[in-house]
Amino acid sequence: YKREKLKPFTTHTGILATLNRANVDTDAIIPKQFLKSIKRTGYGPSAFFDWRYTAGGEPDKTFELNQAGFEGRSILVTRNNFGCGSSREHAVWALFQDGYRVIIAPWKEIGGQRIAAFADIFRINAAKNGLLVVELSEQDVNAIFDMVKARTGLQATVDLGKQQVEIQGSDPVVYHFDIEPGAKEQLLKGLDDIDQTLLYEADITRFENQYDP
């Protein structure tokens, strides 16, 4: 397998698509039968497989992401606790290879407990694969859902440096988001885990040359 270098994520402009479902787990994102491959490519068409296709293998017209107007989408807006379930990194590969560059979801408070927008392991896997996850308030995400519903092909620009999402239009709407500094740097520089390790290659080599087992 030849490792491909990640592209730095600075800004991205794309069409918004909405998936009005909470607690979307990694098995829904990429079902277990597709985990047998030893390659890291080819997962895109299988993203959301059980929802995306009929039993006959045709696109299911009732599935939200198959509706007209979402062609060419690259920013997914969904609900809280996205990416829960197993720790499979394949879920991020599938989303990225299906064309998504940004996932937006809300945090939510239930019974006094804060439910995060994304499962922790999914969030970590996303950063090291060049996929930006953006957590906004439930109120903000509800507003974006309404705007997408009202306008076909609605686009947004996501600026990681400024940490903002700008919904385009005659009267643009801007939402600010927080992100862990390490994940931000990793995305801005396009570094996966191997790249981050190689930043210390000189130190590693020096240690290996001096170490006497």
Average pLDDT, the chain: 92
In sequence order, what are the beta bridge partners of 16?
75
What SS3 state is found at 56? Answer: coil
DSSP assignment, residue 178? -
Whether pTM exceeds 0.85: yes
Q: Give the model's pLDDT for residue 37.
A: 78
User: Lowest-confidence range among 11-25, 156-170, 181-195?
Assistant: 181-195
Q: To 5 degrees, how large is the angle CA 1–CA 189–CA 174? A: 120
Query: How many percent of the chain have pLDDT more than 90?
Result: 78
CA-only gyration radius of the chain, Å: 19
Q: How far apart are the first and last CA of the chain?
A: 32
Q: To 5 degrees, how large is the angle CA 107–CA 108–CA 112? A: 130
Q: Does the pLDDT of residue 199 top 90, yes or no?
A: no
Q: Give the model's pLDDT for residue 110.
A: 87
CA 4 to chain CA centroid, nearest Å: 18
pLDDT digits (tens, 9 = 90+) for 129-156: 999 999 999 999 999 999 999 999 999 9
User: Lowest-confidence range among 89-93, 116-120, 166-170, 195-199?
Assistant: 195-199
Q: Give the model's pLDDT for residue 1.
A: 45
Q: What is the DSSP string of 91-123?
A: HHHHHHHTT--EEEEE-EEETTEEEPSB-HHHH
Residue with tokens 């991020």: 92
Q: Does the pLDDT of residue 25 top 80, yes or no?
A: yes
